[in-house]
């Protein structure tokens, strides 16, 4: 596609976004004027027309912010951060008004706004890793990926640069997930502590969300091992039924202060885990035996197979004794 055609396509997309925004504003204004007239002519003692006016108004403002930011900043990480900030401010303003509308004072708004702000701060931290420097043209993420890639090469691991970036990115997302988990649940703890100490309800989201953290960690370990050409050990899969059993025990005890029905599902989980472990162990033994048979049938196989190399720029496999990548031309 030529530069002129691409420019025309972008202008057309910008025109369509602005047209739909104008239609949205027109429908919003006409509908709420009609609702105001109906409210005024029937029972103006209760101004119910303000409810759709403000709720729908928040959505129209969010639509406007998204269109304006995309038109000026295009579809970049900076635009997504600005859109997130705009949505957070608009929703927070609407919630403040909604809290004040009931009895002309603020009650629960702090509990709703703090998580929204924490999520946006988390997005800001991610953006700092992805944002490219004006001097070097590289981001912090690129620097971490290069260091990890060089470390794997020094260890003799056959992994390409794109796979290294995939591993590093998934590790960053896991760390980010843990940060959100810690911040939000610490906030919930303080809310619980200063309002209702007799019932520790914050443990429900803390334990439930904690299970998701463990499952996310398993996904990351699986991605890392597959990228390095390794297989997941059975001990990682045992974490899932063990975590589920602990959670069910927590639900049983926290609901009635002692174990009641907990043993029934846990017994089935333990039996299923033992079956999975036995099957996986047998498969691993057969795989090792087959691999050993193949190695013994080929003399000096480890010395005859050269170590594979990959281009650090595009990840394409390199031929022996080549000083340039055949795909992207990167000098090695």
Q: What is residue 234's predicted lDDT score, i.e. its pLDDT? A: 66
β-partners of residue 317 are 310
The pLDDT of 122-135, averaged and rounded, is 78
Q: Which SS3 state, helix, strand or coil, does residue 331 take?
A: strand
Would you say residue 297 has pLDDT above 60?
Answer: no
Would you say residue 308 has pLDDT above 70?
Answer: no
Q: Is residue 313 part of a domain?
A: yes
What total of structural domains would you count in the chain? 1
Query: Contact, 261 vs 252, CB < 8 A?
Result: yes
Q: Is residue 40 part of a domain?
A: no
Give the Cβ contact number of residue 242 at 10 Å. 15
β-partners of residue 318 are 309
The pLDDT of 111-130, averaged and rounded, is 80
Residues of the chain with pLDDT > 90, as a percent, come to: 9
Q: Which SS3 state, helix, strand or coil, does residue 261 take?
A: coil
Query: Contact, 206 vs 223, CB < 8 A?
Result: no
Question: Residue 308's domain spans which residues?
Answer: 298-332
Q: What is residue 36's predicted lDDT score, i.e. its pLDDT? A: 92
> Nearest CA to 280 among 226, 218, 237, 220?
237
Q: Is residue 314 part of a domain?
A: yes
Q: Is residue 7 part of a domain?
A: no
Q: Is residue 318 part of a domain?
A: yes
Phi, psi dihedrals of residue 316, rounded to the nearest 5°: -75, 145
Q: Is the dihedral of CA 260, 261, 266, 267 positive or negative?
A: positive
Rounded Cα gap, residues 153 and 169, in angstroms: 19
E strand or H helix at 317: strand 317-318
Query: Contact, 181 vs 209, CB < 8 A?
Result: yes
One-character DSSP codes across 8-68: HHHHHHHHHHHHHHHHHHHHHHHHHHHHHHHHHHH-TTS-TTHHHHHHHHHHHHHHHHHHH
Give the Cβ contact number of residue 156 at 10 Å. 7
Q: Is residue 307 part of a domain?
A: yes
Q: Which of 69-83, 155-169, 299-313, 317-331 has the lowest mean pLDDT?
A: 299-313
Q: Is residue 87 part of a domain?
A: no
Query: Which of 28-42, 189-203, 275-289 has the largest mean confidence?
Result: 28-42
Q: What is residue 304's predicted lDDT score, i.e. its pLDDT? A: 46
Q: How many Å is the maximal CA-CA distance in the chain? A: 96
Would you say residue 218 has pLDDT above 90?
Answer: no
Query: Contact, 148 vs 168, CB < 8 A?
Result: yes
Question: Higher model confidence: residue 306 or residue 22?
Answer: 22
Q: What is residue 302's predicted lDDT score, i.e. its pLDDT? A: 43
Q: What is residue 300's predicted lDDT score, i.e. its pLDDT? A: 47
């Amino acid at each position: 596609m030529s530069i002129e055609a691409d420019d025309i396509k972008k202008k057309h997309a910008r025109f369509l976004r602005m047209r739909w925004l104008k239609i949205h504003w027109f429908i919003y204004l006409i509908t709420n004027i009609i609702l105001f007239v109906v409210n005024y002519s029937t029972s103006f003692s209760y101004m119910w027309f303000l409810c759709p006016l403000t709720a729908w108004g928040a959505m129209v403002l969010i639509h406007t912010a998204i269109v304006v930011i995309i038109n000026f900043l295009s579809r970049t990480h900076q635009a997504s951060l600005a859109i997130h900030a705009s949505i957070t401010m608009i929703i927070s303003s609407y919630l403040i008004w909604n809290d004040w509308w009931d009895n002309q004072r603020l009650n629960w708004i702090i509990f709703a706004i703090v998580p929204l702000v924490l999520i946006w701060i988390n997005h800001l931290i991610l953006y700092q890793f992805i944002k490219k420097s004006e001097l070097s043209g590289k981001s912090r993420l690129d620097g971490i990926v290069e260091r990890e890639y060089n470390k794997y090469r020094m260890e003799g691991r056959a992994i390409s640069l794109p796979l290294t970036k995939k591993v590093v990115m998934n590790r960053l997302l896991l760390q980010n997930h843990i940060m959100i988990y810690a911040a939000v649940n610490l906030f919930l703890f303080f809310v619980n502590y200063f309002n209702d100490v007799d019932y520790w309800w914050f443990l429900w989201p803390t334990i439930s969300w904690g299970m998701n953290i463990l499952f996310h960690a398993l996904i990351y370990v699986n991605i890392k091992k597959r990228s390095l050409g390794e297989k997941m050990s059975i001990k990682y899969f045992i974490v899932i039924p063990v975590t589920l059993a602990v959670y069910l025990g927590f639900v049983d005890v926290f609901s009635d202060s002692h174990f009641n029905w907990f043993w029934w599902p846990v017994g089935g989980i333990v039996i299923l885990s033992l079956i999975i472990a036995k099957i996986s162990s047998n498969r691993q033994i057969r795989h090792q035996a087959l691999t050993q048979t193949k190695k013994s049938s080929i003399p000096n196989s480890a010395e005859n197979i050269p170590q594979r190399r990959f281009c650090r720029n595009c990840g394409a496999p390199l031929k022996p004794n080549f000083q340039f990548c055949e795909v992207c031309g990167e000098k090695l």
